[in-house]
Every structure is written in structure tokens, then in C-alpha cells.
Amino acid sequence: MDNLTACIFNIQKYSLHDGPGIRTVVFFKGCPLQCHWCSNPESQYGSPQLIFEEGKPPTVLGEYRNLDYIMKEVMKDKDFYEESKGGVTLSGGEVLLQHEFAIALLKQLKDQGIHAACETTGYTSLKIFQAFIENVDLILFDLKHYSSQKHYEISNVYNEKIIDNLKVAINQGKEVIIRIPVIPGINNSLEDAEGFCKLLKEVGATKVNLLPFHQFGQKKYSSLNKEYKFLDVPQLQVEDLQEYKDIFLKNGLDCIL
């Protein structure tokens, strides 16, 4: 068990956006999806890689870390977690790609009484997903599209596995917040909002967080020598999505922007 390692590309302290309270977010490298608008393209490749920034020597992004290292890092802020009712969030990339390590880490967090959240696409086998969520207190479940065909076109994977795992999490009584990145031309029409609502009601989801498209990841593409297809796509503001959000509310879903 001590030999277990995972490729991690960031450990972010004092996060206020990835679960309740003050949190440390552990970012796992590697993702089975290839979303065209991804704002963390550096997370997609599952091994350390070179980053090229203008005027600077290349740097390596991503390091293999063992459980002891991660636990020592996250436990440094235990007092903040206690005072703020926060904890630790596993994110990515897709944490489920390194599930063995993640499951072992979640067990250690549970032993220490630390609230554990994860941000996931849910794209894995049922067996792995069930073992993974056992010690998770909150699941931030990313959903890109309600239509499986569309999901494939925008991310390279179909959504059946994802929906099956979402149902399992909900049926097991886990706290689940659906996170929908609202992307122009991909899923931002009012018909899309209705499509999401239909699916979410069918699976029994109750809470939704809408994430308006932004361009924060744009510069990362050139540093990775990758093509960015969303360069000319305008960012969405909260005001742009009021009508979209209202459809979720009218469908009885607890929706925030």
C-alpha cells in the first residue's frame, strides 16, 4: 500500500468553490474525456509533461506522489477544515483513472475524520465507482450532455456509463450536486436545459450547479502546443443564463449559478 503513487498536478489550498467550507483540492492528472473547451488541458494527459511558456525554460507539470506525502500536505490545514466545516476534494482531470490510489486516500481521510468530496465525470465501471464512493461525503458530478450521441461528439465518450453511475450514487443516498458547464453551441439552448431537466428528474437528482463558459484556460493551450478550438467563443455571464436557470427551477430542481 505504501508503494501506491498517483500522478498529481496541483494541490490547491484554501479553496472555497469545491465543496463546503475551506478545502484543499488534490488535482489528479489524466482524463478519459477530451472536451473541446476544457479549461484544464494540462490535466488530460496522465503522466508528467513539459510546459512551454514564452521567455521561460520548459517546466515539468505533474509528479508521482505517495499517500504519505498527500496526507501530510492535506493534514496541514486540519484546523481550517474543522473551523469552517470544510475538508478535502479530489479533482482532476478525472480522479477515477487513478482509482486505487484515490480509494486508499479516501479511507485515510475517513480515518482522520476529514470531510471528503470529489469532482468526477463518473466515467468508469460500476465496480470501481461503487468502491470509490463508499468513503465520499459529497459528489460534484460533472455532466456535459444529456444526449449520449452529443456527449460522444463533444467529449469522445458516450454517457450511458456516466448515467448508470450517477443513478447508483443517488440511490445509495450520497449527497450529489450535478455540475453542468454551459457551453455556447454545445448545450446552452433552452431546449438543452429542458433535456437536462428531463434526465435529472428521471435519475432523481435534486441539486444543480450551472457553470457558465469562460476563457480562463485559453493560454494553457499554447504552452502545451495544443490547438484551442474555442478561441472565438464568447464567455457567458451569469445574466446570460437566467432563463436557462429558470427552466431548472420550474422543474423543481434546486439550481444555482
Using CB under 6 A as the criterion, which residues of the chain lie in contact with ligand SF4 when the complex forms?
31, 33-35, 38, 40, 43-44, 92-94, 121, 155
For 50-95, give the DSSP string.
EE--TTS--EEE-EEEEHHHHHHHHHTTHHHHHHHT-EEEEESS-G
Q: Which is nearer to ligand SF4, 70 or 143 (CB)?
A: 143
Whole-number Å distance between alpha carbons of 224 and 44:
11
* Minimal distance, residue 82 CB to ligand SF4, in Å: 30
Q: Which is nearer to ligand SF4, 23 or 179 (CB)?
A: 179
* Minimal distance, residue 35 CB to ligand SF4, in Å: 3
* Minimal distance, residue 76 CB to ligand SF4, in Å: 26
C-alpha cell at 170: 443517488
DSSP category for residue 7:
E
Q: Which is nearer to ligand SF4, 108 or 181 (CB)?
A: 181
* Minimal distance, residue 156 CB to ligand SF4, in Å: 9
Q: Which is nearer to ligand SF4, 162 or 199 (CB)?
A: 162
* Minimal distance, residue 216 CB to ligand SF4, in Å: 12
Residue 93 neighbours by CB distance under 10 Å: 29
Of 68, 176, 181, nearest in space to 117 by CA: 176
For 146-189, give the DSSP string.
SSHHHHHHHHSS-SHHHHHHHHHHHHTT-EEEEEEEE-TTTT-S
The secondary element (H helix, E strand) that includes residue 108 is helix 99-111
Q: Which is nearer to ligand SF4, 43 or 187 (CB)?
A: 43
